[in-house]
Amino acid sequence: MRNISERIKRENRVGPIKKKVLLLLFSGLALSCTRSPKQQWRIIQGVADEWRELTRQQIERAISSLYESRLVGVKRNSDGSFTLTLNEKGRKKSLTYNLETMQIPRTREWDGLWRIISFDIPEDIREARDSLRHHLLRLGFFELHQSTFVHAFECKNEIDYIVELCDLRQYVRFITATEIDVAVRLKRFFNIQSSLKPKSP
């Protein structure tokens, strides 16, 4: 299986379909700024060839991904890690991890919260889906269903990092829950004592 890190080992993370979407958007801006029919025709000719092989579904997916992504910067470090700069609620935060050595730290006191990762990734990018599952399992998540995973300890930064690095934001949901009907199984899986009370907020 080709893992996620092999997919993103390149400086430019904007794929060819997204480039074409951006080209179309910029071309629309250029068309709105010129009244010359000759110049408009040149602009249209310049983008027409780029779109012939794209389906409507691919275009809509690329536009959706561009709008939903929180990533504003990527830096590849000499030690093999990546630093991502995310824009979350108007604030920027930087996350630096090596995907292959990333671990989710376990706290002494459990806070009583379940972190649930749910995803619905299209079949035509199943390689990314399989890689995401691979890394969730490696990080110690409990596989509740084929596309639903659970962890007992704080891992939002780690999930944000993987999701943005692999351009999967539009397909992945992060849920925090206080109750789940398989809590006994999960506590046993994460070695949490059943009598342990959640940490007070």
Q: What is the CATH number of the domain that holds 176?
A: 3.30.70.240
pLDDT digits (tens, 9 = 90+) for 110-153: 999 999 999 999 888 888 888 899 999 999 999 999 999 999 99
Structure tokens at 3: 């893992």
Quick check: is 44 in a domain? no
The amino acid at residue 104 is I
Quick check: is 150 in a domain? yes
Quick check: is 151 in a domain? yes
Quick check: is 47 in a domain? no
Could you tell me the residue range of the domain that residue 135 belongs to? 95-189
- The count of domains in the chain is 1
pLDDT digits (tens, 9 = 90+) for 26-64: 444 343 444 555 554 454 455 555 555 556 666 666 666
Stated pTM of the model: 0.65
| Residue 133 CB neighbours (<10 A) | 19
3-state helix, strand, coil in the chain (%, to 5): 40, 20, 40
Quick check: is 147 in a domain? yes
